[in-house]
């Protein structure tokens, strides 16, 4: 069965003109192939390694699982990313997962025992272009400026967009600080290794409170909470225990990105198009979480067959986002998580100790296609629209 899986994957890849170099099966190095991608007849420099498994014994929960065994360090820290592919003989389908990505997300302190492979991540003739595009993007994360962003992302556990302003500083105690700001935003996020990479929202003014006297203090001009100097929701240098060198570095980050921080027009925003202005979406995370779970439970109780139908709808969707597939893999391969989703009810939600955060996440992925958030002055049932 293992050789049948290897043959099926090799045939598929070679049918799409990609270069497959098989690794001798006499040594268990944790990889079966080197695959170098070809683009429009031209050989690229993008290469991955692949571990192939075949047979029904790899099924777990609602998906599949490939044991990491002794390969964890190599798969996580090697120069070439490793993908796992499982061949299901009953469906005659190949399913894939990015093993390197899963291991790096878990981190060295909590390494997983297996790589989760989602049944939604099907590899065939129609999905080959999206798989190759995803794999080549991932390989490209380790080139040029993107390599720096990737390193900082893996260090802090935050996914940075290639357009974000991301700056790095190491203080005298060998502690890391990351300044992160999206284009057009006036606020930034500070991430610090000394604080366990907890994100702290800051402004230039909140960091400078200890360095400068806020304008109008003692003048009776109305300065105070609500002004740019008095926003109590933003972290100060004192809150974050920043020394003077760290404060000046963060301030210089704001200054150096000032030109790019000018407000940008948002597409279709009525306030930018000259139409009547409306509120932008805003809701507290815990409020949204509780509301979404409550609505899921309402639907499950009124439609007992909803879970099966929702999973089937996902299986039939032609192309899921790679980020969703990477989440589904380990969640669907975890029997405990799948069991909790299958038992989802008002009683189990009330007893929060019976439901792990991972089970909540899998439930959201199964049941919900998209959530739209309206202005905060709307009633909750109108502010949150679930598809």
Q: Which domains, ranges and CATH numbers included, belong to the chain?
A: 2-140 (3.40.1350.10), 144-256 (no CATH), 285-386 (no CATH)
Q: Contact 179/165 with Cβ under 8 angstroms?
A: yes
- pLDDT for the residue numbered 65: 93
Phi then psi for 191, rounded to 5 degrees? -120, 130
| 3-state DSSP assignment of residue 385 | strand
By the 10 Å C-beta count (0-12 exposed, 13-18 middle, 19+ buried), 167 is classed as middle
The rounded distance, in Å, linking the Cα atoms of 371 and 293 is: 12
How much is the pTM? 0.67
From residue 57, how far is each of 63, 110, 116, 218, 300 by CA, in Å? 11, 25, 14, 74, 31
Closest CA to 12 of 122, 104, 98, 101: 122
- pLDDT for the residue numbered 180: 94
305: which DSSP letter?
Answer: T
- In DSSP notation, 120-178 reads T-EESTTTHHHHHHHHHHHHHTTSHHHHHHHHHHHHHT-PPPTTSEEEEEE-TTS-EEE
From residue 77, how far is each of 101, 108, 168, 248 by CA, in Å? 10, 10, 22, 35
Q: Which residues are 98's β-sheet partners?
A: 83
Q: Contact 48/86 with Cβ under 8 angstroms?
A: no
The rounded distance, in Å, linking the Cα atoms of 335 and 359 is: 10
- pLDDT for the residue numbered 167: 92
The rounded distance, in Å, linking the Cα atoms of 257 and 55 is: 54
The rounded distance, in Å, linking the Cα atoms of 209 and 145 is: 33
Edge-to-edge strands of the sheet including 33-39?
A: 19-22, 33-39, 42-54, 82-88, 93-98, 122-123
- pLDDT for the residue numbered 227: 44
The residues, any chain, with a CB within 8 Å of residue 219's CB and separated by 6 or more, are none
The rounded distance, in Å, linking the Cα atoms of 193 and 176 is: 5
Token duo for residue 331: 């969640």
In the chain, which stretches have pLDDT less than 50?
213-230, 271
Q: Contact 347/150 with Cβ under 8 angstroms?
A: no
The residues, any chain, with a CB within 8 Å of residue 178's CB and separated by 6 or more, are 152, 155, 156, 158, 166, 167, 168, 169, 190, 191, 192
Q: Contact 301/344 with Cβ under 8 angstroms?
A: no
């Amino acid at each position: 069965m293992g050789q049948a899986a290897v043959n099926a994957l090799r045939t598929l890849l070679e049918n799409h003109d990609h270069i497959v170099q098989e690794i001798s099966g006499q040594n268990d190095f944790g990889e079966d192939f080197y695959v170098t991608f070809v683009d429009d007849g031209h050989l690229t420099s993008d290469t991955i390694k692949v571990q192939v498994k075949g047979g029904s014994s790899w099924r777990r929960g609602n998906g599949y699982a490939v044991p990491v065994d002794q390969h964890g360090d190599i798969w996580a820290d090697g120069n070439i990313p490793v993908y796992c592919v499982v061949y299901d003989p009953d469906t005659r389908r190949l399913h894939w997962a990015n093993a390197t990505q899963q291991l790096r997300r878990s981190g060295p302190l909590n390494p997983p025992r297996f790589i989760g492979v989602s049944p939604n991540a099907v590899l065939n003739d129609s999905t080959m272009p999206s798989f190759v595009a995803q794999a080549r993007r991932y390989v490209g994360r380790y080139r040029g400026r993107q390599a720096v962003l990737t390193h900082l992302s893996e260090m802090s556990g935050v996914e940075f967009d290639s357009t974000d302003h991301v700056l790095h500083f190491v203080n005298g105690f060998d502690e890391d600080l990351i300044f992160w700001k999206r284009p057009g935003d006036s606020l930034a996020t500070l991430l610090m290794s000394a604080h366990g990479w907890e994100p702290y929202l800051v402004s230039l003014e909140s960091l400078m409170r200890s360095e400068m006297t806020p304008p109008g203090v003692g003048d009776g001009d109305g300065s105070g909470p609500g002004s740019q100097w008095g926003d109590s929701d933003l972290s100060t240098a004192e809150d974050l225990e920043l020394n003077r060198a760290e404060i000046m570095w963060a301030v210089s980050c704001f200054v150096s990105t000032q030109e790019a921080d000018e407000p940008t027009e948002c597409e279709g925003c009525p306030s930018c198009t000259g139409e009547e202005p409306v509120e932008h979406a805003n809701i507290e995370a815990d409020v949204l979480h509780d509301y979404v779970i409550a609505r899921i439970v309402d639907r499950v109780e009124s439609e007992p067959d909803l879970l099966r139908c929702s999973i089937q709808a996902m299986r039939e969707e032609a192309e899921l986002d790679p980020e969703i597939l990477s989440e589904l893999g380990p969640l669907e391969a975890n029997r405990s998580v799948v069991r909790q989703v299958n038992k989802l009810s008002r009683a189990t939600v009330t007893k929060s100790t019976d439901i792990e955060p991972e089970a909540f996440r899998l439930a959201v992925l199964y049941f919900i296609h998209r959530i739209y958030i309206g202005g905060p002055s709307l009633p909750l049932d109108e502010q949150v629209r679930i598809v």
